[in-house]
Amino acid sequence: MKKFLVLALVSLLFSGLPGCKKTETNNYTPGANKDKYKGTAIVVIRYYEYNPYTGQDEFIEEKEYHYKTSVFINPPMVLDGVSETNAFGLQIYPDRSGNESEEGHVDFSSCIIVNDILVGKVLLQYWNYSLNGDKISGTLTDNHIAESAASNILWAWDEVAGIKMIMPFYMANGTSLTGTISAHAVELTISGQSTDTYRKFTCTINAVSQ
């Protein structure tokens, strides 16, 4: 009888433990809360220039950049009843304190709200993406250059009057996003080119929840 009671007690204790934290990860819903991740970005940029004699773009050099970055996953943006169509908002910003020149930095926003001097506040969506399990995939569908509101930017060098300067290059429509998202970590890859096609890049991000 005592042996039975001990076994019953042990069984009760284990059944009452908040045991499978694993299910919390499996049930993670991006956008249900405001989540922040911190980690590193590795950016590879291949630089090209136009050769007027051949009519072709010619490769100049490839450079690799490493820096700290932050990833923010938030509920979809909403303005006056109009909502971002993605299931969650996604923003990625570099830690600029470690690289004040900005070279190699990538700024990413799925959607923002801007203040237009004529019509007031406007919601602008840039990216369309979907989540299948923990896998994300999507595309930059509208960089909103026409509205002078580009927010997805690659910072790279350009030569102006014989002087190299770090300039913002807007990502071209068609730039891709792939990776995985969980409650504990994100692994993302952004691949594409600048609108002038002379800066082709891949940005790989690994970050953990804060």
Q: What is the mean pLDDT of each run of 10 residues along the chain (210 residues)?
A: 36 38 62 96 96 92 97 96 96 89 96 90 97 97 95 95 94 98 97 97 98
Q: To which H or E segment does residue 21 belong? A: none
pTM (2 decimals)?
Answer: 0.84
Residue 22's pLDDT is what? 35
d(CA 165, CA 154) in angstroms, rounded, equals 14
pLDDT at 209: 97
| Count of beta carbons in the 10 Å neighbourhood of residue 2 | 6
Domain range holding 126? 2-209
Q: Provide the number of structural domains found in the chain.
A: 1
At 17 the pLDDT is 38
Among candidate residues 47, 94, 101, 46, the one with its CA nearest the CA of residue 68: 94
Residue 194 · residue 167 · CB < 8 Å: no
Q: How many whole angstroms separate alpha carbon 33 and alpha carbon 30? A: 7
pLDDT at 14: 35
Query: What is the SS3 assignment for 34?
Result: coil
Q: Which residues pair with 116 in a beta bridge?
A: 120
